[in-house]
C-alpha cells in the first residue's frame, strides 16, 4: 500500500461522498484524515510478519544476533545467542497493510491516553446499564460464556473461537494426545461436538438432516461421538418435511417475553413435543411456573403417533 498524495488526491466533496456511501456520520470522523491508495505494484508475497517472543524482542533491542536456522527438510528455528525457538506459520483472515507514510493526528490516542472501548464493560458498568439483579447478571454472563479481559467483560467472536479450537486440536494431534489423555484439561466431548455442529449450521442455516449428521460426525475429533441431544437449544429438526431437515435456531435469538416467545415458536412449528420445546422455553422458568405450567397455560395437549404434542391455545399474531 502507498499513501501517495502526489498522484492521487481527494477533495472534500470526494470524502463527503465516501462517508455517505459508507453511511457514516461526519461527526464520528476525526478532523484529520489521510487517503490511502493501492500501490500500482502490489506485492503480498515479499513480506512476512513475525510475532516475537519477549526474549527474542529483547535480544534484537539489545543488538544481539538473531538468525533463522534449519536444513531444507527441517522445521525452521529462530536462534538468539542463548536460546532456540520453533518457527510456525500461521494464517489469519484479516488483511494487514504496510503503510510507509502515515500521519497520526493529535486527536488520536497515544499509549498514555485511554483508547475508545467498544462492547466491553466492567461489572459495575453493567450494573448501571442492565435491568437485573447481580445474580441475574452473573447468570446471564455465564450463559453467554463471557469472560473478563483486563477487567472488562467480553464475549469472544465465534470465528475467533473456531481458530482457537483449531489450534488446540492441532496441538493435541501433534503430540498424539486423545481428548481424554490430559488429566487436568480434558476436552468436554458434548461441548466440542456441539461446537462443531454450530460451526456447520451457523453458515448453512438449514441442512438436509442425513447429510448434516454425516458431515457432523466426520468433523469432530477422532474418538468423539455425536448425538442429537448435544443440539438442544441450538437446532430445530423438522421431521414432517421430505427429506427431514435441521435448522440453526438458538435460544438467545428468541423474544424474552413469554407470550411473544410462544407466539414465535408456534408460528415456526404448529405442534411441539415436550422434548423439542423444553430447550427453547426452559430459561423462562420461575419459582412459580415451570415448563409444564407454562405449557398448560398457553397450549393444548394432544396425541400424535403415540407422542404428546402441544399447539397454541389462541390464534397466532
pLDDT digits (tens, 9 = 90+) for 286-313: 888 899 999 999 999 999 888 899 999 9
In whole angstroms, what is the distance from residue 220 CA to residue 227 CA? Answer: 12
Nearest residue to 207 (alpha-carbon basis) of 166, 165, 249: 249
The values of phi and psi at residue 246, to 5°, are -125, 135
Tell whether the model's pLDDT for residue 79 goes beyond 80.
yes
> How far apart are alpha carbons 213 and 7 in whole angstroms?
56
Beta-carbon contacts of residue 81 (< 8 Å; ≥ 6 apart) = 59, 64, 65
pLDDT tens digits, one per residue of 122-159: 988 888 888 778 888 888 898 888 999 889 999 888 88
Angle of CA points 202, 237, 303, to nearest 5°: 155
CA atoms of 220 and 213, how far apart (whole Å): 11
pLDDT band at 6 (very low <50, low <70, confident <90, very high): very low
Question: What are the φ/ψ torsions at residue 59 (nearest 5 degrees)?
Answer: -65, -45
Q: What is the mean pLDDT of residues 191-207?
A: 89
Beta bridge partners of 247: 206, 236
- Strands 307-312 and 272-273, how do they pair? antiparallel
What distance in Å separates the CA atoms of residue 101 and residue 3, rounded to the nearest whole number?
Answer: 6
Query: What pTM was estimated for this model as a whole?
Result: 0.57
* Contact (CB, 8 A) for 127 and 137: yes
Give the Cα separation of 18 and 11 in Å (integer).
Answer: 11
Count the alpha carbons within 13 Å of 103 in the hemisphere toward its beta carbon: 11
| Cα–Cα distance for residue pair 277/307, rounded to 1 Å | 13
Find the radius of gyration of the CA atoms of the chain. Answer: 27
Pairing mode of beta strands 152-154, 147-149: antiparallel
- What pLDDT sits at residue 244? 92
Pairing relation of β-strands 299-304 and 67-69?
unpaired
Residue 192 in contact with residue 179, Cβ under 8 Å? yes
238-282: pLDDT as tens digits: 888 889 999 999 988 899 889 999 999 999 889 999 999 999 999
Q: Which has the closest alpha carbon to 283: 145, 139, 185, 174?
A: 139
Going by C-alpha positions, the residue among 280, 224, 290, 286 that lies closest to residue 247 is 280
CA-closest candidate to residue 4, choices 135, 101, 90: 101
**Span 198-226, average pLDDT:** 90
Residues 86-103: b if buried by 16+ CB within 10 A, e if exposed: eeeeeeeeeeeeeeeeee
Amino acid at each position: 500500500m502507498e499513501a501517495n498524495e502526489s498522484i492521487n488526491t481527494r477533495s472534500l466533496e470526494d470524502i463527503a461522498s465516501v462517508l455517505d456511501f459508507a453511511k457514516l456520520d461526519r461527526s464520528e470522523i476525526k478532523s484529520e484524515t489521510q487517503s490511502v491508495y493501492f500501490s500500482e505494484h502490489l506485492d503480498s508475497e515479499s513480506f512476512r510478519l513475525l510475532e516475537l517472543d519477549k526474549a527474542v524482542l529483547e535480544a534484537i533491542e539489545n543488538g544481539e544476533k538473531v538468525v533463522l536456522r534449519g536444513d531444507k527438510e527441517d522445521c525452521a528455528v529462530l536462534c538468539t545467542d542463548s536460546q532456540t525457538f520453533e518457527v510456525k506459520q500461521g494464517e489469519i483472515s484479516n488483511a494487514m497493510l504496510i503503510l510507509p507514510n502515515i500521519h497520526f493526528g493529535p486527536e488520536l490516542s497515544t499509549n498514555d491516553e485511554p483508547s475508545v472501548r467498544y462492547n466491553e464493560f466492567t461489572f459495575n458498568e453493567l450494573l448501571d446499564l442492565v435491568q437485573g439483579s447481580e445474580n441475574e447478571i452473573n447468570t446471564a454472563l455465564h450463559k453467554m460464556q463471557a469472560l473478563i479481559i483486563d477487567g472488562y467483560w467480553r464475549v469472544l467472536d465465534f470465528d475467533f473461537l473456531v481458530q482457537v479450537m483449531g489450534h488446540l486440536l492441532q496441538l493435541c494431534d501433534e503430540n498424539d494426545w486423545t481428548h481424554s489423555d490430559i488429566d487436568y484439561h480434558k476436552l468436554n466431548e458434548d461441548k466440542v461436538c456441539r461446537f462443531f455442529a454450530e460451526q456447520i449450521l451457523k453458515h448453512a442455516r438449514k441442512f438436509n438432516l442425513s447429510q448434516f449428521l454425516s458431515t457432523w460426525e466426520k468433523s469432530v475429533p477422532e474418538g468423539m461421538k455425536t448425538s442429537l441431544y448435544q443440539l438442544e437449544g441450538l437446532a430445530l429438526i423438522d421431521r414432517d418435511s421430505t427429506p427431514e431437515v435441521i435448522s440453526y435456531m438458538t435460544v438467545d435469538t428468541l423474544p424474552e417475553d413469554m407470550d411473544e416467545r410462544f407466539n414465535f415458536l408456534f408460528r415456526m412449528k404448529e405442534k411441539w413435543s415436550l422434548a423439542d420445546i423444553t430447550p427453547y422455553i426452559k430459561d423462562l422458568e420461575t419459582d412459580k411456573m415451570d415448563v409444564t405450567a407454562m405449557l398448560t397455560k398457553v397450549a393444548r395437549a394432544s396425541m400424535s403417533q403415540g407422542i404428546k404434542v402441544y399447539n397454541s391455545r389462541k390464534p397466532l399474531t
